[in-house]
Structure 1
Amino acid sequence: MRAAVGDRLHVHGRKVGNPDHLGEIVEVRGADGAPPYLVRHPDGHESLVFPGPDCVVEQAPG
């Protein structure tokens, strides 16, 4: 998994009825775009994320 600042981390809900979660990657702490990522969530809080198999990186447009 590779990401850059400005990309979005999309975490899929693991059960039927659980919503997906999206967050903006504000810092990449691994080498060459590898995890972990500092992610800003829509409510404004930030967390360090080590993405699992239920996550995908959506590249920023442009």
Structure 2
Amino acid sequence: MHASKGDRLVLHGRVVGKQDRVVEIVEVLGPDGTPPYRVRAENGHESIMSPGPDTVVDHHKGMDLD
């Protein structure tokens, strides 16, 4: 997985009825765009994550979470 600051990660729900989550990458901590990533959720919460196989990168820039 390769991503850049400003890209979105779409975490697909693994349980029936659970919605997908979308977070914005605010910092890439791994070499050459690889995980882990510091991410910000829509509610403003930040965390560090290494995405699993149920996650895809949306290279769309400029997700406004403010």
- Shorter-normalised TM range: over 0.9
What one-letter code is carried by the residue in structure 1 that aligns with 2:18?
N
Shift of 1:18: 0.6
SS at match of 1:22: strand
**Stretches of 4+ aligned residues off by more than 4 angstroms:** none
Cα distance in 2, alignment partners of residues 23 and 7 from structure 1: 9
Give unpaired runs (5+ residues) of structure 2. 62-66
Give unpaired runs (5+ residues) of structure 1. none
Task: Name the % identity.
Answer: 57
Report the TM-score when normalising by structure 1: 0.94
| TM-align CA RMSD | 0.7
Number of aligned residues: 61
Cα distance in 2, alignment partners of residues 21 and 58 from structure 1: 12
Report the TM-score when normalising by structure 2: 0.89
Shift of 1:2: 0.2
Cα distance in 1, alignment partners of residues 20 and 59 from structure 2: 17
Q: Which residue of 2 aligns with 1:39?
A: 39
